[in-house]
A and B are shown apart, each in its own frame.
Chain A
Amino acid sequence: MDGKSNPTKGGGVSPGTRLAELVKRNRAVIVFGVFILLLPLWAEHIYKGISIDILFIMRLVGVFTIAAVGLNLLMGYAGQVSLGQGAFFGIGAYTSALLTVRAGFPVWLGIALAIAISAAFGLLVAPVLRLKGHYLAMATLGLAIIVFVFLREMTWLTFGNDGVRNIPELALPFTHITGFDLPFIKEKLQRPELYFQFYFIWVVAIVVLALCANLVRSRVGRSMRALHQSEVAAEAMGVNVSAQKIKVFVLSAALGGLAGGIYANLQGYIDPNMFSITLSISILTMVVIGGMESIWGAVAGAAVITFLPKFVEAIPKWVGDAPKWLERYSNYEGIVFGLILILTMVFMPSGITRGLSDMFRYRRSPFMNPFRRKAVE
């Protein structure tokens, strides 16, 4: 998972060994891929029992995973804190929605252009990267607000608060080949379109995860981590720090746009309020609780944040009559997210993924005690 294989291993290995190496290197992707492939088998069975439509929600987890992994490259690896990922998500969603609804573009082209437009917007605003630390966080927060206001107020283009309706469903260019139209599959599955969306999103998400995992273990990934720790030193080592930051920012924006584009076609309806700063903060929370500098943390973070409200919603169905405050959960969801964010920062600063893997690997508690007196300092 961390690619710290024996440094002396070089070329000149047999194809068998190479395959073994490939499997070993990608074991996380493979294990996770199999998990996703088989998930519908059990998820559909326990759906009725626990009143949580796992398959349905997992589609959203996949979408947010893509956005979160993009932000994690920027924030976790390159150290550039951004509160603007929701803006790129929103731009991607609106690009895809408007192009498919207003211009009649095919869905795949809408999503492709969602990536392109978000990336272009990222490039346009990239000069904010000259700011550092809190200033950058504030500037990107401003960006998120500006984009939100534009989406709401440019009614001639975006329909404003009415939102965009009847966005075409996710579909591949040649749907008939995918087999989901075949009658026997339709008989077998109660919800074929849900299966299609689930697998479509997760194939995209897993490809993105695998590519990002490769990226962070490469020369480029090292330069990102280096400039995170010392821009002066990275620059002195020959890394073009400002160019590298811009590239990561644009990549992060592109992934936000991809997630947004898929999201619009998944939901069929979008309005500006879905892309307010709350979204940016949710994505940021996903990255932090999943784990900074962790590609798989994006999955864990997206899963926790997306499942949490559905879980709370389901509680009344398990216990019969639940207390009133539980039913009003959505009103104070922001507080809960904030609390989770604070507790994670204090007790598990490296995130769930790192915390749990350390627990298994080194048999130590995943929690930190920040109040313990340190021997030094």
Chain B
Amino acid sequence: MMQAGDVLSGDARDDLLAAKDLTKTFGGLAAVKNVSFSVSAKAIKAIIGPNGAGKTTLYDLLTGIYLPDEGNVLFQGREIVGLATHEITALGVARTFQTIRLFTGMTVMENVMVGLHHRTKTGFVKSALRVPSGLREEAWMREESLRILDIVGLEMQAESLAGSLPFGQQRLLEVARALATAPRVLLLDEPASGLNAYETRELGGIIYRIRDMGVTVILVEHDMGLVMRISDEVLVLDYGEIIAEGTPEEVSADARVIEAYLGSEID
């Protein structure tokens, strides 16, 4: 058991989000094994690795969807393992999903407004009675969601049904919805998958804009062009373990990374 003093001491304090020795096994198979890493504020960190390397499982551990078998997660020096997902979101860790999970039957704006849920508080009684404070909050939610939609360039589609958007815009809406939770750390899960080259470039710009707003971005991505262009640091996972970590240049020159991606050279 860690002492509170330990948690706050050392480098954990400077890091916004830190994972320590995270391990998660499914039926004897380690999906994530002894993974430790940290991100400092306002950085863009990419997590790459072949399919099945444990990237999405790592996200699920960070956001409280799974409990790790071992290890812990510190957010702003506070241990967050064991908290419910919605509590972790409220603290400031938001995510998007690899397989798009929009509320397809709701409008674009309503999707973003759900992201504002924990920042607002009008409950059942006040909502049913439409008390003035609730109406003011509702008006604020509309303004705020339009402001957020503007960041990803979807404000013109605010009244469209989320499910009717083209695929690329659905990805952007996922980002907007996560941004609405006012995160300190935003975990993006393959945001560029299914996007064309133009859309991917736009996405890069949006990620920069989000970082400039003071949000740390962690990015699981297969599009190496995007990863190498925008990340400050890259973490490479293979079979649930970290095999390399460093700047994009360092990582792309790493022999083990090349092996993991291209297979070992024939002697």
Residues of A within 8 A of B (CB): 4, 7-8, 10-11, 211-212, 214-215, 218-223, 225-226, 229-230, 232-241, 247, 251
Q: Is the CB of B139 within 8 A of A11?
A: yes
Q: Is the CB of A211 within 8 A of B128?
A: yes
Q: Is the CB of B127 within 8 A of A219?
A: yes
Q: Is the CB of A211 within 8 A of B120?
A: no
**Contact of A10 with B143 at beta-carbon distance under 8 Å, contacts A4-B107, A225-B106, A237-B181 already known:** yes
Q: Say whether chain A's binding surface is mostly helix, strand, loop, or mixed.
A: helix
The one of B85, B127, B181 in contact with A214, judged by C-beta atoms closer than 8 angstroms, is: B127
The one of B85, B94, B110, B124 in contact with A220, judged by C-beta atoms closer than 8 angstroms, is: B124
Provide the B111-132 mask, 1 if CB < 8 A to any CB of A, else 0.
0011101111011100111100
B228 at the interface (CB under 8 A from A): no
A-side contacts of B101, CB under 8 Å: 230, 232-233
The one of B85, B97, B103, B138 in contact with A219, judged by C-beta atoms closer than 8 angstroms, is: B138
Alpha-carbon separation in the docked complex, A218 to B136 (Å): 12
B65 at the interface (CB under 8 A from A): yes
The one of A218, A226, A251 in contact with B134, judged by C-beta atoms closer than 8 angstroms, is: A218
Q: Say whether chain B's binding surface is mostly helix, strand, loop, or mixed.
A: helix
The one of B102, B110, B143 in contact with A222, judged by C-beta atoms closer than 8 angstroms, is: B110
Alpha-carbon separation in the docked complex, A222 to B123 (Å): 12
Q: Is the CB of B128 within 8 A of A212?
A: yes
Q: Is the CB of B86 within 8 A of A238?
A: yes
Q: Is the CB of A223 within 8 A of B128?
A: no
Q: How far is the CB of A69 from chain B (nearest CB, A)?
A: 12
Q: Is the CB of B124 within 8 A of A236?
A: no
Alpha-carbon separation in the docked complex, A230 to B139 (Å): 25
Q: How far is the CB of B117 from chain A (nearest CB, A)?
A: 5
- Considering only CB atoms and an 8 Å cut-off, how many residues of chain B contact the other chain? 48
A-side contacts of B103, CB under 8 Å: 225-226, 229-230, 233-234
Alpha-carbon separation in the docked complex, A221 to B120 (Å): 13
Q: Is the CB of B114 within 8 A of A239?
A: yes
Alpha-carbon separation in the docked complex, A223 to B181 (Å): 14
B137 at the interface (CB under 8 A from A): yes
Q: How far is the CB of B185 from chain A (nearest CB, A)?
A: 13
A selection of 12 A-B contacts at a CB cut-off of 8 Å is: A7-B109, A11-B139, A220-B124, A225-B106, A230-B102, A232-B101, A236-B65, A236-B97, A237-B115, A237-B177, A238-B86, A241-B86
Q: Which residue of B lies closest to A221 (CB)?
A: B127
B35 at the interface (CB under 8 A from A): no
Alpha-carbon separation in the docked complex, A234 to B104 (Å): 12
Q: Is the CB of A220 within 8 A of B114?
A: no
Q: Is the CB of A222 within 8 A of B139?
A: no
Q: Is the CB of B129 within 8 A of A211?
A: yes
Alpha-carbon separation in the docked complex, A8 to B142 (Å): 8
**Contact of A229 with B118 at beta-carbon distance under 8 Å, contacts A237-B177, A238-B86 already known:** no
Alpha-carbon separation in the docked complex, A310 to B101 (Å): 46
A-side contacts of B86, CB under 8 Å: 235-241
Give the top 9 A-B pairs by smallest Cβ distance, nearest first.
Answer: A238-B118, A218-B127, A233-B101, A211-B128, A238-B89, A235-B85, A226-B114, A230-B101, A229-B103
The one of A218, A232, A237 in contact with B138, judged by C-beta atoms closer than 8 angstroms, is: A218
B90 at the interface (CB under 8 A from A): yes
Q: How far is the CB of B143 from chain A (nearest CB, A)?
A: 7
Given contacts A10-B139, A219-B113, A236-B89, 9 further A-B contacts (CB under 8 A): A10-B143, A218-B122, A225-B105, A232-B65, A235-B85, A236-B95, A237-B117, A237-B181, A247-B124
Q: Is the CB of A220 within 8 A of B123?
A: yes
A-side contacts of B158, CB under 8 Å: 7
Interface centre among A222, A230, A241 (most CB of B within 10 A): A222
Q: Which residue of B lies closest to A211 (CB)?
A: B128
B-side contacts of A214, CB under 8 Å: 127-130
The one of A212, A223, A226, A236 in contact with B63, judged by C-beta atoms closer than 8 angstroms, is: A236
Q: Is the CB of A223 within 8 A of B130?
A: no
B224 at the interface (CB under 8 A from A): no
Q: How far is the CB of B100 from chain A (nearest CB, A)?
A: 9
The one of B84, B104, B113, B180 in contact with A235, judged by C-beta atoms closer than 8 angstroms, is: B84
Alpha-carbon separation in the docked complex, A238 to B64 (Å): 12
Alpha-carbon separation in the docked complex, A289 to B94 (Å): 39
**Contact of A11 with B106 at beta-carbon distance under 8 Å, contacts A211-B128, A237-B114, A237-B177 already known:** no
Q: Which residue of B lies closest to A230 (CB)?
A: B101
Q: Which residue of A lies closest to B65 (CB)?
A: A232
B146 at the interface (CB under 8 A from A): yes
Q: How far is the CB of A229 from chain B (nearest CB, A)?
A: 5
B-side contacts of A237, CB under 8 Å: 86, 89, 94, 114-115, 117-118, 177-178, 180-181
**Contact of A222 with B106 at beta-carbon distance under 8 Å, contacts A233-B101, A237-B114, A239-B117 already known:** yes
- Contacting residues of chain B (11-67) with chain A, CB-CB under 8 angstroms: 63, 65
B159 at the interface (CB under 8 A from A): yes
The one of A211, A212, A222, A247 in contact with B113, judged by C-beta atoms closer than 8 angstroms, is: A222
B242 at the interface (CB under 8 A from A): no
Alpha-carbon separation in the docked complex, A236 to B180 (Å): 11
A-side contacts of B115, CB under 8 Å: 237-238
Alpha-carbon separation in the docked complex, A230 to B143 (Å): 25
- Contacting residues of chain B (146-160) with chain A, CB-CB under 8 angstroms: 146, 158-159
Q: Which residue of A lies closest to B120 (CB)?
A: A219
B141 at the interface (CB under 8 A from A): yes
A-side contacts of B180, CB under 8 Å: 237
Q: Is the CB of A229 within 8 A of B104?
A: yes
Q: Which residue of B lies closest to A11 (CB)?
A: B139
Q: Is the CB of A233 within 8 A of B102?
A: yes
